[in-house]
Amino acid sequence: MSDRETTGPPRILHVSPAPPRRSEPQGPLGAPAGMEPVDIYELEGQDLTDVCGIVLSGMCDQRHLNTLRDRLEAFVRGGGRLLINGHVIEPFLPGLPKWRLLPYGGPADLGIRRETDHPVWEGVDVRELLFRAGIPGPHSLETLAQIGVAGFYGRGYAVDLPDGAVVINSIGQLRAPIDYVFPLGEGEVLVHSGLDLSVFAMTPGTTLTAIAPNLLTWLGGRA
């Protein structure tokens, strides 16, 4: 039985720089509904006793995260779940692979393929991950192929996955790992090597909206 198990609703932290602000074109830095916003430079002072899950925005300072590596590692090893977004350039956890840019010449090199089922992507059509458009509103896959820009979901992959890692989604014709999960102690680390997943969850008229509740369920659960 973990100290993290409580009778109340699960606490999930969303860590980013300056949560109240907004960054274009990245999207809002504020926490999605159901998550508590925490400035990365205030994470050290947070009591993690009853926290079940932590989300790290891809815009976090990885050098600063490296100073918190012992605390983050202890959180996951104790049974916590951690979602890491973005390009890992300076690994701040044991086994965390570095990110590498994928050589690409067009949309065909950036397509996303489901390799293994995972609760966070349950109900999500990965074909909707390839293009994003600056025109508000829902669009068909055909329309997105005409007006959208490919590669926002990710343009790179992880190198040298740790033992026990499972590839969830791959990218391009190389089928290189872009989304993967690996165990660390009693907990789990989920890595998305691209733009924050919460940004895609706010795409109306698509299956991507399933990502938001899926994240809350996974982060609020037990590894």
Q: Where are the domains of the chain?
A: 11-219
Reported pTM: 0.90
Q: Of 142 and 26, which is predicted with more confidence?
A: 142
| CA-to-CA dists, residue 150 to 67, 140, 153, 155, 223, angstroms | 35, 15, 8, 9, 33
Q: Which pLDDT belongs to residue 43?
A: 95
> pLDDT tens digit string along 166-179?
999 999 999 999 99
According to CATH, the topology of domain 11-219 is Rossmann fold (3.40.50)
Q: Over 80: is that where the pLDDT of 146 sits?
A: no
Q: In which band, very low, low, confident or very high, does the pLDDT at 128 lie, cut at 50, 70 and 90?
A: very high
Mean pLDDT of the chain: 89
Strand 98-101, strand 27-28: pairing = unpaired
| DSSP classification of residue 121 | G
Q: Please name which of 223, 189, 208, 199 lies closest in space to residue 88, comparing C-alpha atoms.
A: 189
